[in-house]
Amino acid sequence: MDTNITIIGAGVIGLAIAAELSKNNEGVFVLEKNLKPGQETSSRNSEVIHSGIYYPKGSLKARLCVEGKRILYDYCNLNHIDYNKCGKLIVSNSDDEGLILQDILDRAKMNGAEDGMIIEKDAIIELEPHIRAERALYFPSTGIIDTHGLIKQLEADAANRGVEMVYGSEVTNIQKIENGYQITVSEQDGAGFSFSTEYLINCAGLYAENISKMAGIKNPAYSIYYWKGEYFSLANGKHKLVSRLVYPVPNKNTEGLGIHTTIDLTGRVKLGPNAVFMENNELDYSLDKSHSKEFYQSAKKYLPFLDEDDLVPDQVGIRPKLQKPGDDIRDFVINEESDSGFPGFVNLIGMESPGLTACLSIAKYVGEIIS
């Protein structure tokens, strides 16, 4: 074999896996079609270090998020990556919503997210004097992270441990061979190369289903559906009126977490993301300005100071979900494919939120799979 381990995709998950596996393995290789790491979903998200509140007990999302949050804060401290443990409030304004808060708190505790507490109006006003809420569920240890700092650090850790990262190189064919895989790569300048690898780890994000199919793995449970997430930021000085992540009580029928406020490390406050199903899985990062009305109406319920003209179009990200509208929630797929006849091929599919929070624990999990 030309190399031991090949990772397709240099988003946060591919890079975290490269940094982890290179601790105990030589010959680790990362292929990325873009010229720089982290140009896709990893830089088009809310940058929230989630607590692991909503996911079903025992799911990979729950386990890897709770563990991932803890080790991500440690990693940030060790490597001086900026973060703000600003805390998160899930706010309720009716008796029915208030009851749902208790359910969310119970599930959070079952998942090991221990710091949640229900607080009443007086305590909410002390934390966030400008929002409207009768009751809230408060998670003080939820935070936000400098994603670009994280990407740079993971890339540096991997490179320092001997990982070879090749940018501008798109995997265009995968052939199963004896004891491994033959990979064909097209470079952006029109050149290309081919090599063999024993292990192949598919971290291709929005393209992970294609990569799996390219190798010959045709599992209908791996179908990815694109869901756009649009954001509007707050203008007219209104960003100064919120300093934590503020979420509505999630509606059972919504595919995201409801229109919420996210803050970033520069103090910018964004509303979003919404969840727009994209019929044809097209890579379309355009934002529909007419959605600002729906954002305004949702957020006005708990941000009474909001005026319609405070909303300015901001970023767009696309979630690689394993469910289409109406389907049950699906867990991450992290699977070594020996059972399908593809030993040494590890698929990571449907790596939507909380994939950023969980990137380091996902990397440890993959390390255990192939050790």
Ligand X SMILES: Cc1cc2nc3c(=O)[nH]c(=O)nc-3n(C[C@H](O)[C@H](O)[C@H](O)COP(=O)(O)OP(=O)(O)OC[C@H]3O[C@@H](n4cnc5c(N)ncnc54)[C@H](O)[C@@H]3O)c2cc1C
Q: Interface residues with ligand X (CB under 6 A)?
A: 8-14, 31-34, 38-42, 44-48, 50, 170-171, 203-207, 211, 229, 273, 317-319, 351-357
Q: Which is nearer to ligand X, 31 or 104 (CB)?
A: 31
- Between residues 256 and 344, which has the closer beta carbon with respect to ligand X? 256
Closer residue to ligand X in complex, CB, 87/355: 355
CA nearest neighbour of 147 among 47, 246, 53: 47
Cβ proximity to ligand X: between 234 and 363 the closer is: 363
Considering beta carbons, is residue 128 or 352 the nearer one to ligand X? 352
Nearer to ligand X, 306 or 366 (CB): 366
Q: How far is the CB of 62 from ligand X (least distance, A)?
A: 13
The size of the chain, in residues, is 371
CB of 98 to ligand X, least distance (A): 25
Q: How far is the CB of 209 from ligand X (least distance, A)?
A: 10
Structure tokens at 90: 């899930």
For ligand X, give the closer residue by CB, 11 or 116. Answer: 11
β partners of residue 149: none
Shortest Å distance, C-beta 44 to ligand X: 6
Smallest distance from the beta carbon of 35 to ligand X, in angstroms? 10
Query: Could you tell me the smallest distance in angstroms from the CB atom of residue 66 to ligand X?
Result: 12
Q: How far lies 305's CA from each of 152, 238, 248, 300, in Å?
A: 38, 8, 16, 7
Residue among 38 and 116 whose Cβ is closer to ligand X: 38
Least Cβ distance, residue 206 to ligand X (angstroms): 6
Residue nearest to ligand X (CB): 355
CB nearer ligand X, residue 50 or residue 244: 50
φ/ψ region of 324 (left if φ > 0, alpha if ψ in -120 to 50, else beta) reads beta
CB of 12 to ligand X, least distance (A): 5
Q: What is the nearest approach in angstroms of ligand X to the Cβ of residue 197?
A: 13
- Alpha-carbon gap, residue 217 to 347, rounded angstroms: 10
